[in-house]
């Protein structure tokens, strides 16, 4: 019998596509606009008060009064209104602790439309088909959603394994519902499986130290050498995207400064965004499948501690000191952003923890220039983006540059140069301006 010590609680999200009728679309849009407006009203109310009057109790009273006096705010369920208050207060808390900027006004066309459903018991989820399920949305009714993952509902649900809430989200591909799922499972046994170092690159998306490279089969560059910003689209989709972009540029050329965007131009922009979102989903799907396979195969995974924000900075420079190779650096930045290395590492972090493995991060400087055979860093050893030839006269080892970097990453872990320990371990959040206890 499994004891409580052997159990671990996992919390994760699952996103599914909703199928709404035209009437339900109007109702959900009304709730989303009411939630956005309530946020703006609360922001104005919060900022005009003195600090000693800014309390959750006073905000709750103000929200209740507003929902009674303003009819179009009443379309938002009471629990969803409380969710807006909770999210707004958490945004200020993140600002006070230095983790983010303060909350601001939510514009109508630049804000992601969403509605929170804080309580899972209001959803009443039921599976009606192998591919479809039904969910109850407050003040909207029963709605179909795409069933792609087994959820703890019905007889599978209990106090430990259940859905704690959900959020309705609107993107360019339609309305979706994101479930908040909580499950309690047996703690995975620590794995003593093989170790592997992974180098994130552009030519080879994930280069492994054991030469088992993971490639999505979509070249990062076009035959003329330029960066392919639409590599996740097929040729027909690329041609359609080009036509839409030219159409949008043509229609935008007739728009005068300060003039409102026409509905035709908005529709063209939506079609462009739909193709972009389709490409992003394909990339994310490949990342999910690849990281799951790696987490199941290896017990210890080592990656680089990369500062991606600094890596994708522009090389444009200033007027006094203009940059060099600006176009080439811009193409490299676009390729790095397309590969989404940070999202890959995030997926590896929680998936290795679910499978009993461990994820480590090691310092990145020098891993691409150092020879993994002799250990020396000789100038000129990395001849180009894909070729590494050690210039040490006593070595002369040659290999793919990404493979060489992956071997160096694994070597740094084995000699003890570890930057961040086991993935899945609880992380204590602190303000950016607060020093850790060891440095005080």
How many DSSP H helices and E strands does the chain contain?
Answer: 9, 13
Q: What is the 3-state secondary structure (H, E, C) of 290-335?
A: HHHHHHHHCCEEEEEECCHHHHCCCCCECCCCECCCHHHHHHHHHH
What percent of the chain is modeled with pLDDT above 70? Answer: 91
**pLDDT score for 389:** 83
Residue 384 gets which letter from DSSP?
A: S
H helices present in 229-262, as ranges: 235-253
Higher model confidence: residue 223 or residue 14? 14
State how far the Cα of 63 lies from the Cα of 194, in Å rounded to an integer: 56
User: Has residue 285 got a pLDDT over 70?
Assistant: yes
Banded pLDDT at 367 (limits 50, 70, 90): confident
Q: What is the pLDDT of residue 434?
A: 45
Contact 164, 120 (CB under 8 A): yes
> What average pLDDT is seen over the chain?
84
Question: CA angle, 253 as apex, 252 and 256 as ends, to 5°?
Answer: 85
Between CA 146 and CA 325 the distance in angstroms is 47
Q: What is the pLDDT of residues 97-133, one digit of tens each?
A: 888 888 999 988 788 899 999 998 889 999 998 899 9
- Cβ atoms of residues 423 and 353 within 8 Å: yes
Q: Is 423:363 a contact under the CB 8 Å cutoff?
A: no
pLDDT of residue 364: 81
* Tokens coding 298: 């290896």
Confidence of residue 18 (pLDDT cuts 50, 70, 90): very high
Asked if the model's pLDDT at residue 420 lies above 60, the reply is no
- Work out the pLDDT band at 425, boundaries 50, 70, 90: very low
How high is the pLDDT of residue 439? 35
pTM, two decimals, is: 0.81
Least confident interval from 150-154, 241-245, 316-320, 383-387: 316-320
Provide the pLDDT for residue 426. Answer: 37
- Any idea which of 72-86, 217-231, 388-402 has the lowest mean pLDDT? 217-231
Question: Which distant-in-sequence residues (6+ apart) come within 8 Å of 417 by Cβ?
Answer: 362, 363
Over residues 75-102, mean pLDDT: 90
CA distance 18 to 134: 9
What tokens appear for 211 in the block? Answer: 């030469």
- In this predicted structure, what is the pLDDT of residue 180? 93
Higher pLDDT, 47 or 318: 47
Q: What is the pLDDT of residue 247?
A: 95
Res 422 pLDDT > 50: no
- Residue 243 has a pLDDT of 95
- Could you give the strand order of the β-sheet that contains 206-208, starting from the edge strand earlier in sequence? 206-208, 195-200, 300-305, 358-363
- Of the pLDDT bands very low, low, confident and very high (cuts 50, 70, 90), residue 329 is confident
The structure tokens listed for 383 are 């001849």
- DSSP percent split of the chain into helix, strand, coil, nearest 5: 40, 20, 40
Q: For residue 51, what pLDDT band results from cuts at 50, 70 and 90?
A: confident
Q: Sorting pLDDT into bands at 50, 70 and 90, what band is 312?
A: confident
Is the pLDDT at 6 greater than 70? The verdict is yes
Mean pLDDT of 237-244: 94
pLDDT in tens, 179-214: 999 998 888 888 877 889 998 888 888 888 888 888
What CA–CA distance (Å, rounded) separates 260 from 58? 39
Separation between Cα atoms, residue 163 and residue 154, nearest integer Å: 11
Residue 20: pLDDT band by 50, 70, 90 thresholds? very high
Task: Please write down the HEC assignment for all residues of 84-108.
Answer: HHHHHHHHHHHHHCCCCCCCCCCCC
* Confidence band of 371 (pLDDT split at 50, 70, 90): confident
| Whole-number pLDDT of residue 325 | 66
> 3-state DSSP call for residue 114?
strand
């Amino acid at each position: 019998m499994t004891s409580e010590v052997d159990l671990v609680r996992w919390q994760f999200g699952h996103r599914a596509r909703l199928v709404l009728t035209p009437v339900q679309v109007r109702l959900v849009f009304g709730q989303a606009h009411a939630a956005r407006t309530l946020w703006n009203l609360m922001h104005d109310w919060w900022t005009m008060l003195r600090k000693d009057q800014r309390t959750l109790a006073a905000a709750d009273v103000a929200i209740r009064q507003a929902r009674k006096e303003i009819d179009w705010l009443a379309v938002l369920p009471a629990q969803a209104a409380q969710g807006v208050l909770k999210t707004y207060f958490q945004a200020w808390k993140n600002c006070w602790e230095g983790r983010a900027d303060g909350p601001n006004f939510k514009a109508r066309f630049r804000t992601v439309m969403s509605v929170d459903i804080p309580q899972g018991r209001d959803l009443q989820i039921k599976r009606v088909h192998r591919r479809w399920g039904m969910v109850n949305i407050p003040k909207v009714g029963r709605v179909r959603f795409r069933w792609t993952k087994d959820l703890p509902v019905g007889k599978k649900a209990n106090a430990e394994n259940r859905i704690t809430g959900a959020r309705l989200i609107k993107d360019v591909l339609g309305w979706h519902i994101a479930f908040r799922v909580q499950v309690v499972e047996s703690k995975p046994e620590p794995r003593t499986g093989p170790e592997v170092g992974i180098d994130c690159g552009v030519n080879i998306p994930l280069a492994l130290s054991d030469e088992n490279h993971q490639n999505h089969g979509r070249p990062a560059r076009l035959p003329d050498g330029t960066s392919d910003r639409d590599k996740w689209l097929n040729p027909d989709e690329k041609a359609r995207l080009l036509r839409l972009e030219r159409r949008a540029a043509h229609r935008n050329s007739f728009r005068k400064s300060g003039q409102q965007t026409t509905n035709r131009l908005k529709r063209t922009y939506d079609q462009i965004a739909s193709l972009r979102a389709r490409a992003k989903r394909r990339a994310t799907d490949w990342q999910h499948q690849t990281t799951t396979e790696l987490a199941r195969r290896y017990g210890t995974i080592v990656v680089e501690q990369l500062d991606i924000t600094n890596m994708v900075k522009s090389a444009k420079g200033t007027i006094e000191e203009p940059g060099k190779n600006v176009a080439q650096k811009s193409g490299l930045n676009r390729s790095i952003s397309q590969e989404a290395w940070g999202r890959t590492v995030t997926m590896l972090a929680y998936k290795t923890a679910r499978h009993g493995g461990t994820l480590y991060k090691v310092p990145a400087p020098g891993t691409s220039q150092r020879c993994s055979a002799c250990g020396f860093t000789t100038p000129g050893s990395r001849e180009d983006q894909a070729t590494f030839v050690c210039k040490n006269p006593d070595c002369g080892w040659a290999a793919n540059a990404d493979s060489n970097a992956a071997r160096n990453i694994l070597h740094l872990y084995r000699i003890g140069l570890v930057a961040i320990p086991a993935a899945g371990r609880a992380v204590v959040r602190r303000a950016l301006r607060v020093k850790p206890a060891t440095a005080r």
